[in-house]
């Protein structure tokens, strides 16, 4: 995929009489700046753009948008393989309200999207969602903050084979179904991995994976490692909590390893034919602890919960 672009540009440049304005208007690396950017610019380092959307549109597929300084950069719909990168210059933020998406990903089936160092902040009304995913092959989110959305913090509804990785990210104070909600919508297989992620104060589940609305033989396989789920509560504490796995039509597995599950309405919930496994984790002070097909590797610290529920089975394979 990435090797084809130089060959294609070379063919265009060699072909006599062809227009190359579109190719010239796009760069492999573009820059945004809140201090000096202007969306009429070409988004180069010398003449940066002001918003993520314009920079995205002026970036070649497989290219990169770099944040130059702190500021708000507006909502974004992603339709290509691209990286949006803030490596420590200060907060690069997107404010969301009125039912909108902060970032909506409609990438090609083979598309790769990387987001790093972005804050997506809800401003409290209208059912907004932080990050939504409809299509693409892989999404990587690192060092981000997704918080205060009245809808889901992240909503993934893939229609094909898709892979999600979330690293060192805060997902907090969101409404909707979950801080992160994953549901299959087609026949593709979905894998998701969350490493060093904090699921805090979401009004329903911290993370929910749901094998529903699938017309084919889809599966979801998700893992959570070295993470914390705390204070995820709902008005009905028997339903809302830290981690949930549901099967409607597609098999679903969720594994939680080396993590802390503390003070949630419910620790773990697995319904239908789904399986939820937990190992090397601390499970404490939850209103309810286990519902459904929850399996333990036998090496957890489970103490001080109000209602332990059905003791988890010991996972044998």
Kindly indicate the confidence band of residue 248, based on its pLDDT and cuts at 50, 70 and 90: confident
Q: Are 151 and 127 in contact (CB under 8 A)?
A: yes
Q: Are 242 and 263 in contact (CB under 8 A)?
A: no
The CATH homologous superfamily for domain 61-314 is: Single-stranded right-handed beta-helix, Pectin lyase-like (2.160.20.10)
- Looking at per-residue pLDDT, the higher value among 86 and 6 belongs to 86
Residue 217 has a pLDDT of 57
Rg (CA), the chain: 21
Q: How far is CA 155 from CA 94, 101, 106, 152, in A?
A: 16, 10, 13, 6
Residue 315 has a pLDDT of 58
Q: In percent, how much of the chain has pLDDT > 70?
A: 85
Average pLDDT over residues 90-118: 95
| Model confidence at 6: pLDDT above 80 | no
Q: Are 55 and 65 in contact (CB under 8 A)?
A: yes
Say which residue the tokens 């404010």 belong to.
Answer: 95
Residue 234 has a pLDDT of 67
| Cβ-Cβ contacts under 8 Å for 85 (sequence gap 6 or more) | 64, 65, 66, 67, 114, 116, 117
CA distance 198 to 146: 10
Judged by DSSP in three states, 229 sits in strand
Average pLDDT over residues 7-27: 42
Tens of pLDDT, residue by residue over 252-273, are 899 999 999 999 999 999 988 8
Tens of pLDDT, residue by residue over 164-196, are 999 999 999 999 889 999 988 777 789 999 999
Residue 12 has a pLDDT of 30
Domain boundaries, the chain: 61-314
| Cβ-Cβ contacts under 8 Å for 201 (sequence gap 6 or more) | 172, 173, 230, 231, 232, 233
How many other CB atoms are there within 10 angstroms of residue 304's CB atom? Answer: 12
Q: In whole angstroms, what separates CA 150 from the centre of its chain?
A: 16
Q: Which of 1-15, 58-72, 155-169, 292-306 has the highest mean pLDDT?
A: 58-72
The encoded tokens of residue 140 equal 């990587």
| Model confidence at 236: pLDDT above 60 | no
| Cβ-Cβ contacts under 8 Å for 66 (sequence gap 6 or more) | 29, 30, 31, 32, 85, 86
How many other CB atoms are there within 10 angstroms of residue 144's CB atom? Answer: 25
Mean pLDDT of the chain: 86
- Looking at per-residue pLDDT, the higher value among 296 and 234 belongs to 296
CA distance 101 to 151: 10
| Cβ-Cβ contacts under 8 Å for 180 (sequence gap 6 or more) | 152, 153, 154, 156, 166, 171, 194, 199, 206, 207, 208
How many other CB atoms are there within 10 angstroms of residue 8's CB atom? Answer: 11
Average pLDDT over residues 215-219: 66
CA distance 279 to 10: 53
Let me know how many helices (H) and strands (E) the chain has, helices first: 3, 30
The encoded tokens of residue 170 equal 């805060």
The encoded tokens of residue 29 equal 């690396």
Judged by DSSP in three states, 18 sits in coil
Burial of 136 (C-beta count, 10 Å sphere; 0-12/13-18/19+)? buried
């Amino acid at each position: 995929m990435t090797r084809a672009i130089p060959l294609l540009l070379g063919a265009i440049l060699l072909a006599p009489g062809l227009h190359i304005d579109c190719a010239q208007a796009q760069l492999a690396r573009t820059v945004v700046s809140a201090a000096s950017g202007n969306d009429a610019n070409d988004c180069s380092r010398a003449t940066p753009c002001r918003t993520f959307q314009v920079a995205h549109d002026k970036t070649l597929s497989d290219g990169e948008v770099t944040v130059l300084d702190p500021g708000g950069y507006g909502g974004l719909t992603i339709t290509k393989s691209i990286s949006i990168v803030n490596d420590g210059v200060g907060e690069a933020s997107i404010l969301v309200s009125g039912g909108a998406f902060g970032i909506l990903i409609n990438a090609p089936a083979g598309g790769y999207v990387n987001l790093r160092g972005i804050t997506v902040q809800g401003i409290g009304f209208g059912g907004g969602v932080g990050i939504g995913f409809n299509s693409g092959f892989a999404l990587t989110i690192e060092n981000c903050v997704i918080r205060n959305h009245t809808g889901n913090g992240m909503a993934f509804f893939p229609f094909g084979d898709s892979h999600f990785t979330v690293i060192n990210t805060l997902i907090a104070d969101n409404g909707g179904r979950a801080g992160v909600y994953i549901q299959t919508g087609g026949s593709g297989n979905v894998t998701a991995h969350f490493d060093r992620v904090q699921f805090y104060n979401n009004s329903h589940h911290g993370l929910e994976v749901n094998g529903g609305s699938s017309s084919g033989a889809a599966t979801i396989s998700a893992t959570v490692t070295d993470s914390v789920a705390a204070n995820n509560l709902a008005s009905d504490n028997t339903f809302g909590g830290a981690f949930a796995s549901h099967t409607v039509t597609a098999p679903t597995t969720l594994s939680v390893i080396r993590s802390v599950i503390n003070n949630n309405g419910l620790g773990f919930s697995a319904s239908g034919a789904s399986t939820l496994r937990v190992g090397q984790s601390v499970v404490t002070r939850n209103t309810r602890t286990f519902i459904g097909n929850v399996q333990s590797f036998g090496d957890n610290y489970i103490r001080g919960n109000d209602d332990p529920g059905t003791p988890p089975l010991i996972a044998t394979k």
